[in-house]
Chain A
Amino acid sequence: MDYVLIILLEMLRAVSWLVLLASGLAIIFGMMRVINFAHGEFLMLGGYITIMTHNNGVPLWISMLILAPLTVGIFGILVERLVIRHLYGRIIDSLLATWGLSLLMIGGVTLVFGNTVQGVSTPFGAVSIGEYSIPLYNFVIIGFAAAIMLATWAVLKFTKVGLVARATMQNPDMAETLGVRTTWVYMATFGIGSAVTGLAGGLLAPLTGVVPSMGVNFVGQSFITVITGGASMIAGTLSASTLLGTVSQGVTFASGPVYGDAALLLTALVLLRVLPQGITGRIFKKSL
């Protein structure tokens, strides 16, 4: 019984994890149709900012929840102004440019911060469930995943900014004609997407070893989640994360992590064959 509960919690954590990994990318992809290949390195940068500032005396929560998203967000805006802006509508070019950016960031962070930096421990400690114990931090992950989804939804649904963003997403030309500065919208979107990714990186820092080349471990999962989800940011990310997270964790519990990963990829492949526009291309079409 306890074991079943543990498995369920672990699945929930895996789903939340995918939501965190993917939401920054989903915001950028959903709004701008730009695939940010340096997504993994944005995560890494968030992680690095967190541990570097924390090691220099900043309280962990400030490093993780404020400094990491802020810095990565500003970095994102810079990247958008200098690079991405010139490449709108050229998916492949933007992909190659951001691939170059990812190499540049790996090398740059190594140069600036070094490749061996002491990380931070997971805060909070553990909670026991019967004979098992799991990190309390898992609930932080779950909480933040839910919060990001809710916040995005609320902003898009209820605020003026959200309305403008949705308009730009649906028909940029029309929005422009109606007086929306779409370039500004894009810049802000890229910044916000980056900030969310930075936050995810910050939250990730106490869970794993933070090194310059860590991004590659996450980029595959993030992409597949976003693409499987399809065009709509929230419903897409949520449905894809739920499906893929559950499948991969279920298989991992049953037979080990190798098959868990393979099952995730296979599910994505079959889904894309059945629903070529992603889940939200057919189902939840009208959702955000």
Chain B
Amino acid sequence: MERSIAKDVGFYVMLGIGLVLMFIGPLIWDLFQIMQITQYVVLSVYALSLAYIWGFGGILSFGQAAFFGLGAYTFAVASINMGDTTLPFVLSFILPAAFGAGLGYFMFYGRLSEVYLGVVTMVVTLIFWKLINHTAGPEYSIGDARLGGFNGIPSIPILNVPGDPSAWLDPAQMFQVFMAILIIVYVVLRLIIASDFGRVSVGIRENEERSSLLGYDIRRHKVIVFAIGSGIAGMSGAMWATYQTFIDPNAFSMEMSAKALVWVMAGGIGTLAGPILAVVLLQWLSLKLGTMHILNNYVILGGIMMILVLLLPKGLLPTFQALSLRLWTIGKSKMKERTPKGKAASDV
């Protein structure tokens, strides 16, 4: 169960790894590796947005890509018009969060059931995808930014030092900034989860009816959780846009939504570190596959997904934790014959 994070070793380990990578990474990696790892960082932030609302709020969204794309397009349009990227980056959190709050109001106050919730979020994403694909004509521009339809928006500015549009970040600096963002998002989410608010939302996840009978307004609670997740997804979209300097409607695709689901599933629902692990593993894998020439990559990726679901239904991290816990208890019981049952895995 959720414990005070001050006593959680896993939290410090994660924080430590993050900080070490952030400072040491640029010194030991070459440019290509930095770009590569930056991508994992961006997608990890995206994965965390779903890991939070699904694992700690019980909200299953098939439409996380709607917010990812919204953030990316917000950043692209705003930064192309403004030149400076600081305000656009902030906007890319606020706008999706506001939209998420609106959609959340529509869904949770309408008391949609779980399956339908998933479908509504999916339909919203599809609508975004359709509409943004339709913006190919020259009449669809916002200020200086042409939306570009299927082809997307090229030449999106690279993140710059606040207030100085000409001082844009080089790849190593961008990696450090993004890593810092990931660490902050992780810490903030852990703090939220450990707070009273977080405890209530976990309670709602466990048993909605009981939480409601205890006097908590579950609808309001869910709207807030959903909005936070949406904002984080939007921010990761902006990071993606500035990292690639390019964004196209694929940001709104079902595939993008489904990827978030896969990462959280594979990493372990109810953990934050698991999805990050899954992002790194699976992204690395699909990259490696493209450089090898065996069969057809769709066959391999599809096969891996099915096997993952069938063999590791709990996800990588919880399985790993359970395994090491078992080894640990076995080792202990050999020393002391009888010990009390091991504690549950921590929520890293």
Direct contact of A and B (CB under 8 A): yes
Which residue numbers of A lie inside 8 Å of B, CB to CB?
33, 35, 83, 86-87, 90-93, 95-97, 99-108, 110-111, 220, 223-224, 227, 258, 261-262, 265-266, 268-269, 272-273, 276-278
CA distance A106 to B302 in the complex (A): 9
State whether B127 touches A111 (Cβ < 8 A): no
- B119 interface residue (CB < 8 Å to A): yes
With A96-B261, A103-B298, A277-B113: A220-B306 Cβ-Cβ less than 8 Å: no
- B142 interface residue (CB < 8 Å to A): no
State whether B301 touches A272 (Cβ < 8 A): no
- B24 interface residue (CB < 8 Å to A): no
CB distance from A203 to the nearest CB of B (A): 25
Specify the chain A residue showing the minimal Cβ separation from B124. A269
Per-position contact with A for B299-310: 1 when CB-CB < 8 Å, else 0? Answer: 111111110111
Q: Is the interface of A mostly helix, strand, loop or mixed?
A: helix
Most buried by A among B123, B301, B310: B123
CB distance from B304 to the nearest CB of A (A): 7
Residue of A86, A91, A99, A269 near B310 (CB, 8 A) is A86
Residues of chain A within 8 A (CB-CB) of B313 are 90, 93
Residues of chain A within 8 A (CB-CB) of B300 are 107
Residues of chain A within 8 A (CB-CB) of B119 are 223-224, 227, 272
State whether A83 touches B127 (Cβ < 8 A): no
CA distance A261 to B123 in the complex (A): 11
Residues of chain A within 8 A (CB-CB) of B124 are 269
With A99-B305, A224-B119, A276-B111: A110-B296 Cβ-Cβ less than 8 Å: yes
CB distance from A49 to the nearest CB of B (A): 19
- B110 interface residue (CB < 8 Å to A): yes
CA distance A97 to B124 in the complex (A): 23
7 CB < 8 A contacts A-B: A100-B308, A104-B306, A111-B296, A223-B122, A224-B119, A272-B120, A276-B112
State whether B261 touches A101 (Cβ < 8 A): no
Residue of A95, A103, A110, A273 near B301 (CB, 8 A) is A103
CA distance A269 to B60 in the complex (A): 17
- B106 interface residue (CB < 8 Å to A): yes
CA distance A169 to B297 in the complex (A): 38
Residues of chain B within 8 A (CB-CB) of A278 are 116
With A103-B298, A272-B120, A276-B113: A96-B131 Cβ-Cβ less than 8 Å: no
Residue of B110, B130, B301, B306 near A265 (CB, 8 A) is B130
Specify the chain A residue showing the minimal Cβ separation from B310. A86
What are the nearest 6 A-B pairs in CB distance? A100-B305, A104-B302, A107-B298, A103-B302, A107-B299, A107-B296
State whether A258 touches B134 (Cβ < 8 A): yes
Specify the chain B residue showing the minimal Cβ separation from A216. B254
Per-position contact with A for B256-285: 1 when CB-CB < 8 Å, else 0? Answer: 001001100100000000000000000000
Residues of chain A within 8 A (CB-CB) of B299 are 103-104, 107-108, 111
State whether B116 touches A227 (Cβ < 8 A): yes
